[in-house]
Homo-oligomer: A and B are copies of this chain.
Amino acid sequence: MSSATQLFAQHPHAWEVLQPLARRRQLSRDEMLLHHGDAATQLWLVESGWVKLTRHTPDGKETIVGLCTAGDVLGEAALFPYASYPYDAETISDDAVLLGFPAETLRTLLQKDAALSASVMELLNQRVSQTQLKLEHMSTLTAAQRLGCFLLRLCHAHEGAANLKIPVEKHVLAAYLGMKPETLSRSQQQLKAVGVEVNGHGVKVNQIANLREFVCGSCSESGSCDVEMALDE
């Protein structure tokens, strides 16, 4: 659920109630914030840094179901009574700051405020769409296109060309994009052909439009996805 800041901006009365109750946590790298299966007692808003959301299978595999940064919300299970967190949440950057909001207060607010409920429903629906799109990308996009899509999201607020920094470790990025680390390396090489140069964590996108053409021509959201809309603003 991104654009949480927008949610609270639209509902100042809810924010007035929640802000004084917020619990601020400053975490170092590799600290656990939430455990899969624990009772969902708080909803968390990322103020800065990066948090990865993971799930583990009984036979020892890890999958990354989300990467959250400033403005993102995690632990939406807290919106529902008797729910538990559906993933582990662990910091993957040095300077993560998060705000935790008590679940019970949130649920009381939602019961009283139909407009707030409508906004939360809309955010949940966005989350469904984003996850469905990610699922689509796993079967229709090549690995290089999936990497390109991730880079386009980082291009947000840039125009024409962009100098970016990949904000997470390469093995985390590879797992998030559903590929092996060696496939990620190969994908980086392939993106050279559309003017994308990757050096370590630094990325130079020479023409955002070229990268977009390469990626979005194979995506059913082409023309209406939030990445493209952000770039067009």
Contacts and interface: CB of A to CB of B under 8 A. Distances in A.
A33 B75 CA distance: 35
- Interface residues of chain A: helix, strand, loop or mixed (majority): helix
Given A110-B117, A117-B121, A138 B58 contact: no
Contacts of A131: 128, 131-132, 135
A134 B37 CA distance: 19
Nearest to A84: B224
A111 interface: yes
Given A118-B110, A125-B76, A125-B79, A58 B136 contact: no
Interface residues of A, number: 45
A124 interface: yes
Interface of A: 36-37, 55-59, 61, 63, 65, 76-77, 79-80, 86, 110-112, 114, 117-118, 120-122, 124-125, 127-129, 131-132, 134-136, 138-140, 178, 216-220, 222, 224
8 contacts: A56-B220, A57-B140, A57-B218, A58-B217, A61-B218, A79-B121, A134-B135, A135-B138
